[in-house]
Chain A
Amino acid sequence: MAEVEETLKRIQTHKGVIGTIVVNAEGIPIRTTLDNSTTVQYTGLLHQLTMKARSTVRDIDPQNDLAFLRIRSKKHEIMVAPDKEYLLIVIQNPSE
């Protein structure tokens, strides 16, 4: 457990990382380093996108599953590690 906390802390201190959010299956943020409104916004939107992405992957081949999702935009990169139980979201600005 302590290792998890340590790793989370370390991730947050890496260069360019803007925020880290951990959301559980119900959409409640468990850990977040951003403010509330931003967290809620990211959570809601990314949850839907993840569902859609997973549905797409599995529709093509039901034995496959979504492992990771990365969205590279002009300003940031949003990385989502999806699971049935949680969503791990990290937003990084890689060119900083």
Chain B
Amino acid sequence: PIGQTSDELFSSQVHPVLFSAYKTVGFVFDENGKDVTPQPLYQPDPAAVMSKHSKIFASDTSGGTMSDFYSTAYQTTTNASFAGPFTRSVFGSSTVSRGSQSTMESMNEEIEDPSSKRDISISLSDVQVRREEVKELIKEEMLDDVVDRYLIESETLWLLHMPAVSVSVDSEEAESVKERNNLYMELCKNRMGNDKYVERSMQTFNGAPKTKEVQSEAITMVDAATTWDMYDSFRSAGLGEAALSPDTDKATSASSSRIEIEPFVVPSEDEPDPELVLQSEKFQQDLFVMERIILENIYQPKLAAYRQLPTLEDPDSVPKVVPTVVSRREESSLDEESTLTPALERLWSFSCELTSGHNVSSMAWNKRNPDLLAVGYGQFDFKDQKSGLICCWSLKNPTWPERVFTCESGVTTLDFSASNASQLAVGMHDGSIATYNVESREKTPVIDSSDCAHKHTSPVWQVRWIDHERGASGEDKGETLISVSADGRISKWFLRKGLDCIDLMKLKRTRNEKDKKQVGDKEKKSEALISRQAPGLCFDFHPTDSNIYIAGTEEGHIHKCSCSYNEQFLETYIAHKGPLYRITWSPFCSDVFLSCSSDWTIQLWRQDLFTPVLGFTSTQSAVYDVMWSPKWATVFGAVNEGRVEIWDLGASILDPTIVSLASPGVKLTSLLFATETDCILVGDSDGQVSIYQLKNLTVGEGTQVRQGFPTG
């Protein structure tokens, strides 16, 4: 309690003095003259009080004695009091300084009646003196001194006085009290029937209410301004969001800016057609996404199996153990895996009502988006030609294609470009070639070969985009479109004022040496009349040397050709007895290629040998498609009319490792391996493309390039 700050003292000019008045001489008396002064709660530091007051009192009193000081303080308070019954005359000895007089006026009022008992000041000064004494250092000498101590009884301070409600019988007042009581009792008895006391009802008048108008500032009710609300407001008001710091007074700034931007807010059109929503672009987008999400829910296990992810299990259902395809590196555990036979597991199939009834003729993966698949539908035979169909399917939606293009004639082949990933080249049964841009929603081809003078006159059986790293002339660099058709020409297409082509090769009919001797002149002549060209059915460019390619014809011959020579073949391989449907180089072993034909066989060739290294026959039906696995060097898949076969040459060269039968009545027509996962796609004559997963296929030494295949 010693350190009373100057602030407190000076907070109002009155109070410090008042306070000190309390301390020093403050005694409160009520009307009856009884002293009801409350005891001060603390004693301020006299030194501090003194120094402050010296300012107030402009002090001459600084040097004064204690008693003088307090007496002057007292004086001032008395002088300031309005109705003080106690006058100046209390302290005769003290003098009022001028300074104090001036401050008296400045001081105001409400000072309680101070008392003027001498005792007070004496007692207080005594108190002060005592304090001072405490502070004095107790020195050695003083210990022996005789010190006088005066003990004085202070005034009794009444804190609470409750007058008694009962009086003792012996006291003086007892008589008067008794008498008064008796009078009262008489009064109560006389009340009944006395005219003075009549029961009467009263009514208080309720004053008429009056409406009174009150005016205040408009009270704006705003929701608690959220962070994003302010962000939006600032954005739309064009103020920019850089200046807004979250520490600023949010509510007021938001409400003020809100009021400002009212005129800026674009008023919504009055009652737009509710149907309008359905036509908005965003809605279509959302529908699209929603559909995919729904399908993901349905197909999630299958898609996860496709992508070789662990499948999410419904917590309520019994978990099934899904055996994953064994990696080819796990050769040591062959014993265990032999119990699990390799098999194809059907995951799902791409089909919809648009495609039912159409024959799947070709499939191709998009080069950039591995989830996008283009499927061409068209009949192989010339007999039941319908309009062709191209569907681009996404893995994320197996029930409806992303793009549907209809063509006039059946589609026989298609291929995605690698350099321009959305460009799809299509070859058709009527010999025309077209390119489509799958990104746009256009239903028409980007370019068509129908105006070309040299276009094919017979069905185009294969188109392929070939990337020439080095070309003979400048324009050969980059990708070109190569096609082979039944009119015996292999053509290279390019854009020069429209689609135009030049012939890379004309497939002349070659005759077997044996036949030449046996066939008579007649037959020779009749053969020559029909055509000198042999219909080409398939071709494939060498994986590393883009100048060399092999082509298969309807005669069953395989010709190795070069882009540099367009008149002569480099080599001819003769073994098949029927039209070759597919020919393909091995992606791992650059000397080896496979061919399949309608003579029920698949032949494995080496570039430098003129007889096939290996032949594979399993059933007596034409093999429509064959493809090397992109992952394993010894595995390839083949599809004939009734079955899908996966051959693993490392396991067996006589029998296919996996065989899967087609549904009855449906012919399987095309095959495609998935590039990143162990799945194959099989297209059939009913318009369905089924996805199968290869399970438990152990392939030893998979990617090792094996230079020597056993001969014979």
**Among A14, A55, A63, A83, which residue has its beta carbon within 8 angstroms of that of B298?**
A14
Q: Does A24 contact B (CB under 8 A)?
A: yes
Chain B's closest residue to A60 (CB) is B227
- CB <8 Å contact, A24 and B274: yes
Q: Which of B56-64, B177-185, B285-293, B601-609 contacts A (4 or more CB under 8 A)?
A: B285-293
| Contact partners of A68 in chain B: CB under 8 A | 289, 293
CB contact under 8 A between A14 and B314, given known A4-B279, A77-B297, A88-B286: no
Chain B's closest residue to A63 (CB) is B231
- CB <8 Å contact, B278 and A22: yes
| Contact partners of B286 in chain A: CB under 8 A | 81, 83, 88
| Contact partners of A94 in chain B: CB under 8 A | 297-298
**Among A4, A14, A62, A85, which residue has its beta carbon within 8 angstroms of that of B287?**
A4
Interface string of B208-241 (1 = CB under 8 A from A): 0000000000000000001110111000000001
Q: How far, in whole Å, are A52 and B231 apart by their CA atoms in the complex?
A: 17
Q: Does A92 contact B (CB under 8 A)?
A: yes
A1-57 contacts to B, CB under 8 A, are 1, 3-4, 7-8, 10-11, 14-17, 22, 24-26, 28, 30-31, 55
CB contact under 8 A between A30 and B314, given known A11-B287, A88-B290: no
- CB <8 Å contact, B294 and A14: yes
Q: Does B570 contact A (CB under 8 A)?
A: no
**Among A14, A17, A25, A31, which residue has its beta carbon within 8 angstroms of that of B278?**
A31
Q: Does B249 contact A (CB under 8 A)?
A: no
What count of chain A residues pass the 8 Å CB interface test? Answer: 36
- CB <8 Å contact, B287 and A55: no
- CB <8 Å contact, B291 and A10: yes
Q: How far is the CB of B302 from chain A (nearest CB, A)?
A: 12
- CB <8 Å contact, B280 and A8: no
- CB <8 Å contact, B277 and A92: no
B605-631 contacts to A, CB under 8 A, are none
A64-89 contacts to B, CB under 8 A, are 68, 70, 77, 79, 81, 83, 85-86, 88
Q: How far is the CB of A55 from chain B (nearest CB, A)?
A: 6
Q: How far, in whole Å, are A63 and B241 apart by their CA atoms in the complex?
A: 11
Q: How far, in whole Å, are A55 and B232 apart by their CA atoms in the complex?
A: 12
Q: Does B155 contact A (CB under 8 A)?
A: no
- CB <8 Å contact, A11 and B228: no
**Size bracket, chain B contacts:** 20 to 34
CB contact under 8 A between A58 and B294, given known A30-B275, A95-B316: no
| Contact partners of B399 in chain A: CB under 8 A | 10, 14
| Contact partners of B287 in chain A: CB under 8 A | 4, 7-8, 11, 81, 88
Chain B's closest residue to A26 (CB) is B274
- CB <8 Å contact, B227 and A58: yes
| Contact partners of A77 in chain B: CB under 8 A | 297
- CB <8 Å contact, A11 and B290: yes
Chain B's closest residue to A94 (CB) is B297
- CB <8 Å contact, B277 and A55: no
| Contact partners of A83 in chain B: CB under 8 A | 282-283, 286
Q: Does B284 contact A (CB under 8 A)?
A: yes
Q: How far is the CB of A1 from chain B (nearest CB, A)?
A: 6
| Contact partners of A92 in chain B: CB under 8 A | 294, 297
Q: Does B400 contact A (CB under 8 A)?
A: yes
Chain A's closest residue to B297 (CB) is A94
**Among B228, B295, B317, which residue has its beta carbon within 8 angstroms of that of A58?**
B228
| Contact partners of A15 in chain B: CB under 8 A | 298
- CB <8 Å contact, B295 and A14: yes
- CB <8 Å contact, A62 and B274: no
Chain B's closest residue to A20 (CB) is B290
CB contact under 8 A between A30 and B316, given known A7-B291, A15-B298: no
Chain B's closest residue to A68 (CB) is B289
| Contact partners of A81 in chain B: CB under 8 A | 286-287, 289-290
| Contact partners of B317 in chain A: CB under 8 A | 95
Interface centre among A16, A28, A62 (most CB of B within 10 A): A62
Pull 5 A–B residue pairs with CB atoms less than 8 Å apart, ordered by A.
A4-B283, A4-B284, A15-B298, A58-B231, A62-B228
7 tightest Cβ-Cβ pairs between the two chains A and B: A58-B228, A62-B231, A81-B286, A94-B297, A62-B228, A86-B277, A24-B274
